[in-house]
Amino acid sequence: GAVVSQHPSRVICKSGTSVKIECRSLDFQATTMFWYRQFPKQSLMLMATSNEGSKATYEQGVEKDKFLINHASLTLSTLTVTSAHPEDSSFYICSARLRKGSGANVLTFGAGSRLTVL
């Protein structure tokens, strides 16, 4: 089945540093990936839609200069949290849509990356 791999699963960093999270589709090509954020005891909230070869589309209230998204290939999207602060501490989850023509219309999610900013 379709597998999405996220790395790292956990990261602790100092305030002011930048952190990169990778999201890879392992056995399928993903033209579109989605990045979500989840705070404790809350539901997932969409941050941005990552499109291969073009700029990401950000949800209202999400700073594009702070959360840099790159989707340079059909199997890799990266989220970089720049100048991280403690309030950026959260669980970040990516998901991928199977490329049209595959017959599937569901999203496959990564295992998530827990970011803690000290």
State the residues that interact with another protein by CB under 8 A: 4, 6, 32, 34, 43-46, 49, 91, 93-95, 97-98, 104-112, 114
Residue 19 or 93: which CB sits closer to another protein? 93
Tokens coding 48: 């941005």
Q: Is 86 helix (H, G, I), strand (E, B) or coil?
A: helix
CB of 35 to another protein, least distance (A): 10
Dihedral sign, CA of 83, 87, 88, 89? positive
CB of 17 to another protein, least distance (A): 23
Whole-angstrom Cα distance, residue 103 to residue 88?
37
Residue 16 or 26: which CB sits closer to another protein? 26
Whole-angstrom Cα distance, residue 16 to residue 46?
24
Whole-angstrom Cα distance, residue 7 to residue 94?
10
CB of 16 to another protein, least distance (A): 26
Residue 15 or 55: which CB sits closer to another protein? 55
